[in-house]
A = this chain, B = another copy of it.
Amino acid sequence: MRIRRKLYEIIFEADSPKGKAFDIALLLIILASIILVMLESVPDINLKYGHTLHILEWAITLIFSIEYIMRVAVVQRPWRYVFSFYGIIDLLSVLPTYLSLVLVGSHSLMVIRAIRLLRVFRILKLSRYTQAGNTLGKALWTSREKIFVFLFFVINLVIIVGTLMYLIEGPEHGFRSIPSSIYWAIVTMTTVGYGDISPETPAGQLMASFVMIVGYAIIAVPTGIVTSEMIRGSRNNNTQVCSHCLHDQHDNDAVYCKKCGSRLNEDH
């Protein structure tokens, strides 16, 4: 039982020297396995070193499988870990290699291991990065309705513009169908602009110019949404709590509670 406790500390915590060493080793193996998949997909390298890479891939998958089993074994509530975010990612990181025995090519999916690198924040000063992540997430979450309305508007615009361009340019200029015209509209509106499809008639170029200027202008909208949320979020970081009515959202320059009028006691 003491061994289990010890293993738990090494595997799940990053405070002790051994736990930290375990986490760093794990990160290095994850990185190695991602580079492995990438190299394997390069034709020249696969031709030359394919066999070696294949063996290494299985070796790493075995290490991860053992690690996964150990995590389940040493944790207090195994099911809770299995269905936690990290538990699911850990399992998904192992599956593709086994799956490749049945389904050829599916082993590439093991790049999902990249998400396991999230553990890097545990070794670094966790709390500050988590807080930074939370601030970003909160700003996005608070503005979800505005983002939803904005996306709805963009999707509608893209559908209508795509259809109009299909009618204006037509299949003979590369706008083969409405879906591919909508694809063009998205490529243009987001200012990506591959150039694989581009308008050739004067009317089409006029329409495209309009779409571009609109796209250029409305990029300001999501930026405005997120920025104003972030500024709002960074303003109210006051942690004072009124000792009388327990209200806790005070401005930084508050001296009295705005809800009940009693003096806030930070000065004590």
Give A contacts to B, CB under 8 Å: 34, 37-38, 41-43, 105, 108-109, 111-112, 114-115, 117-118, 120-121, 128-129, 131-133, 135-136, 139-140, 145-152, 154-156, 159-160, 163, 166-167, 171, 176-180, 182-183, 186-196, 198, 202, 205-206, 208-209, 212-213, 215-217, 219-232, 234, 245-251, 253-263
Minimum CB–CB distance from A52 to chain B (whole Å) comes to 17
Q: State A205–B233 Cα separation when bound (angstroms).
A: 37
CA distance A245 to B255 in the complex (A): 11
A208 and B223 within 8 A (CB)? no
Please indicate the chain B residues that have their CB under 8 angstroms from the CB of A202 in the complex: 179-180
Cβ contact of A187, chosen from B193, B221, B224, cutoff 8 A = B193
Which of A108, A120, A193 has the most C-beta atoms of chain B within 10 angstroms of its own C-beta? A193
Kindly provide the distance from the CB of A134 to the nearest chain B CB, expressed in whole angstroms. Answer: 10
Among residues of B, the one whose C-beta sits closest to the C-beta of A223 is B220
Contact B190 A215 (CB under 8 A): yes
Contact at B226–A224, with CB atoms within 8 Å?
A: yes
- Judging by beta carbons under 8 Å apart, are B220 and A226 in contact? yes
Which of A118, A148, A177, A206 has most B Cβ within 10 Å? A177
**A178 to B, closest residue via Cβ:** B41
Other-chain contact of A230, B160, B179, B212, B224 (Cβ < 8 Å): B224
A160: which of B111, B167, B196, B222 is its contact (CB, 8 Å)? B111
Chain B residues near A226 (CB-CB < 8 A): 220-221, 223-224
